[in-house]
Amino acid sequence: MKIIDGKLIAAQIKEEIAQEVREMLAAGQKRPHLAAILVGHDGGSETYVSSKVKTCEEVGFKSTLLHFESDITEEALLQQIDLLNKDADVDGFIVQLPLPKHISDQKVIEAIDYRKDVDGFHPINVGKVSIGLPAFVSATPAGILELFKRYEIPTSGKHCVILGRSNIVGKPMAALMMQKTLPGDSTVTVCHSSTPNIKEICLQADIIVAALGSPEFLKADMVKKGAVVIDVGTSRVASDKTKSGFRLVGDVKFDEVAPLCSYITPVPGGVGPMTIISLMRNTLLAGKKSLLNKDSK
């Protein structure tokens, strides 16, 4: 059994991106610039966005954080998006989700110019990914594919079972794993809250991607010997053993599942660090206008 060290791989990629930025600057090119819109004061979202801003600094990107109170109107937020769409200095931007209830996530996502949509959430990017065209790929699935690549984990012809059908992880993960390109070329099954026989399906899996948001859902009796298990879950549960008063728990009951696996990601330190680094990779692509050159338009 091998524990996949997402923290280590993310640190390596961070250095590769920083090197590319140094080369861009030496060649007289502009520093890539990521902007982030944050609405309100959700603790989780504030933490995620500040890590994104910090990582921008570490790789040499310019970053701009636009923080609005939760009573900002949908119209005002859409105007801010329009400004970022038109700002030639901003290569890519994200709007941290979830948004307050009076603002439509989907309206906001569709207002972002898909050429600056480094989250890969815009329907044009989602559509391109689903038919195998170059596009901004949602950060968590992109990070998982990078782990498969760097650990040389075979995926071709394997049965990949994805637990969860979110637009951010489950659906794009399924689209990527079924492409003919590598990593991918897998047979894909997506399970969700209405799947009656999840245990039987998981037992047939060579690769399991657990992205349900259900703490310690995947147990040892659901995993075939030698399977690859990727844990996307990050639930906070109360703990009297940590200073913060909580600890992060994945969707996998790690202690009992790990001995069965050929590879497994821990929580924390597995998929999490790869997600932010994939956003940085997308921002680098945006800064280099790499995808636009491949655009069919």
Among 5, 14, 91, 96, which one carries the catalytic annotation? 96
Name the residue number minimizing CB distance to ligand GUN.
97
Shortest approach of ligand GUN to residue 29 CB, angstroms? 26
Q: Output 119 or 206, the one with its CB closest to ligand GUN.
A: 119
Q: Output 253 or 272, the one with its CB closest to ligand GUN.
A: 272
State the alpha helices, DSSP H only, in 60-122. Answer: 74-86, 105-111
Distance CA 95, CA 195 (A): 32
**Residue 177 · residue 160 · CB < 8 Å:** yes
Distance CA 52, CA 17 (A): 14
* CA 212 to mean position of chain CA atoms: 14
Report which residue type is found at 236: R
Distance CA 235, CA 249 (A): 5
Shortest approach of ligand GUN to residue 201 CB, angstroms? 26
- How far apart are the two ends of the chain, measured CA to CA in Å? 47
Whether 255 is catalytic: no
Among 52, 158, 171, 253, which one carries the catalytic annotation? 52
Omega of the bond prior to 259 within 30 degrees of 0, cis? Answer: no
Shortest approach of ligand GUN to residue 196 CB, angstroms? 29
Pairing of strands 159-163, 207-210: parallel
Shortest approach of ligand GUN to residue 36 CB, angstroms? 8
Name the DSSP letter for residue 240: S
Shortest approach of ligand GUN to residue 280 CB, angstroms? 12
Q: Output 130 or 167, the one with its CB closest to ligand GUN.
A: 167
Among 5, 91, 117, 119, which one carries the catalytic annotation? 119
Whether 80 is catalytic: no
Residues facing 117 on adjacent strands: 93
What lies within 8 Å, CB to CB, of 72 at 6+ separation is: 39, 103
Q: Which residues bind ligand GUN (CB under 6 A)?
A: 94-97, 119, 139, 168
Whether 179 is catalytic: no
Q: List residues with catalytic annotation.
A: 52, 96, 119
